């Protein structure tokens, strides 16, 4: 449980770091950044796969596909769902759709909590229920304030939930499954990088991109690996609640970049900040209880 909590929080911090890096990747556009992110993430994910000796999981997936060819379609669908989320994350801020996407990330944990209860019969502690209620109040205010939900919001809130449920059902919720998702995205990433107008001249003309793009790959690889590990190590409901850490950190990054939270938005952000604090308290109490529990004799 503890390693899952640490992995989830660390992944959220790294995703926020990527969000902070995005403006410095100009003049690349959202699709080009997506392509380079995938292409630079795949080598580092491969290194992680080999270093952690997870290559056997990929071989097992290959054997499963050989015995059950229809599984290949499910794996392609899993990769496509991940690719859609990676693209949307980078596309939205550059096209004035950051608010609908952020609302989707606020709504995502509640959808995961519901999925965990309905599909996996997971239980929540009292503090976790309190966090869910606080977060729900914040999301409800945002729904009323924004006047509804756009397609971007639904893609994040429902799409990511379906993706993680599908990975558990397919038993691909491990680093090998994640590596395969990224590998299957490589052709689309190559197309985004090389399609006219090609991004290659931009990299040649802007020396700061020579280091920024590989750094993006390293951060993305480690963050995604930790995120996928957390999805495996934690109950789906708790994993969903911890997903609130990321949008809160993204909001803090936005403040660092010069944006501000309007007075009308505080009834949204305030309860969500409080929900994260409750989750931290719950995690600390669980850790303390584990350390003080008498050893079995």
Q: What is the pLDDT of residues 108-160, one digit of tens each?
A: 877 887 788 778 777 778 888 888 888 889 888 888 887 766 888 889 989 99
The residue range of the domain holding 69 is 2-291
Domain count, the chain: 1
Distance CA 252, CA 267 (A): 16
Task: Determine, yes or no, domain membership for 296.
Answer: no
Task: Determine, yes or no, domain membership for 65.
Answer: yes
Task: Determine, yes or no, domain membership for 102.
Answer: yes
Question: Digits of tens for pLDDT over the chain (297 positions)?
Answer: 778 888 888 988 988 888 778 778 878 888 888 998 899 889 888 988 898 888 999 999 999 999 999 999 999 999 999 999 988 887 777 776 777 787 788 778 778 877 887 787 777 788 888 888 888 898 888 888 877 668 888 899 899 999 989 998 899 988 899 899 999 999 999 999 988 888 888 888 888 888 888 888 888 888 888 887 887 788 877 777 777 787 778 777 777 767 677 788 788 878 888 887 887 788 778 767 765 555 443
pLDDT of residue 291: 53
Task: Determine, yes or no, domain membership for 205.
Answer: yes
pLDDT of residue 280: 73
Task: Determine, yes or no, domain membership for 175.
Answer: yes
pLDDT of residue 103: 76
In sequence order, the 6+-apart residues with CB closer than 8 A to the CB of 44 are 217, 218, 220, 221, 222
Predicted model pTM: 0.77
Task: Determine, yes or no, domain membership for 235.
Answer: yes
Please, are residues 190 and 31 in contact by the beta-carbon 8 Å criterion? no
Q: Residues 9-20, buried b or exposed e (16+ Cβ, 10 A)?
A: bbbbebbbbbbb
pLDDT of residue 81: 95
Q: What is the DSSP string of 263-287?
A: GGGHHHHHHHHHHHHHHHHHHHHHH
Can the peptide bond before residue 197 be classed as cis, meaning omega within 30 degrees of 0?
A: yes
Task: Determine, yes or no, domain membership for 87.
Answer: yes
Distance CA 127, CA 129 (A): 5
């Amino acid at each position: 449980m503890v390693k899952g909590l640490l992995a989830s929080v660390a992944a959220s911090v790294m995703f926020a770091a990527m969000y902070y890096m995005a403006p410095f990747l100009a003049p690349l556009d959202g699709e080009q950044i997506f392509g380079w992110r995938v292409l630079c993430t795949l080598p580092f994910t491969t290194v992680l796969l080999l270093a952690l000796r997870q290559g056997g999981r990929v071989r097992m997936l290959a054997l499963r596909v050989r015995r059950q060819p229809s599984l290949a379609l499910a794996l392609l669908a899993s990769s496509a769902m991940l690719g859609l989320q990676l693209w949307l994350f980078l596309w939205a801020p550059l096209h004035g759709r950051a608010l609908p996407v952020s609302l989707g990330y606020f709504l995502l944990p509640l959808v995961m909590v519901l999925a965990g209860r309905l599909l996996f019969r997971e239980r929540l502690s009292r503090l976790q229920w309190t966090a869910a209620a606080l977060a729900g109040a914040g999301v409800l205010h945002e729904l009323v304030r924004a006047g509804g939900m756009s397609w971007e919001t639904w893609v994040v809130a429902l799409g990511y939930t379906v993706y993680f449920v599908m990975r558990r059902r397919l038993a691909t919720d491990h680093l090998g499954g994640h590596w395969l998702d990224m590998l299957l995205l490589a052709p689309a990433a190559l197309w985004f990088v090389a399609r006219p107008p090609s991004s290659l001249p931009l990299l040649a003309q802007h020396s700061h991109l020579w280091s920024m793009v590989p750094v993006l790959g390293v951060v993305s690889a480690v963050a995604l690996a930790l995120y996928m590990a957390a999805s495996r190590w934690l109950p789906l409901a708790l994993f969903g609640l911890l997903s609130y850490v990321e949008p809160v950190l993204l909001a803090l990054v936005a403040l660092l970049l010069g944006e501000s939270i309007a007075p009308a938005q505080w009834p949204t952000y305030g309860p969500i900040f409080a929900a994260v604090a409750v989750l931290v308290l719950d995690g600390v109490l669980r850790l303390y209880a584990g350390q003080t529990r008498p050893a079995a004799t």
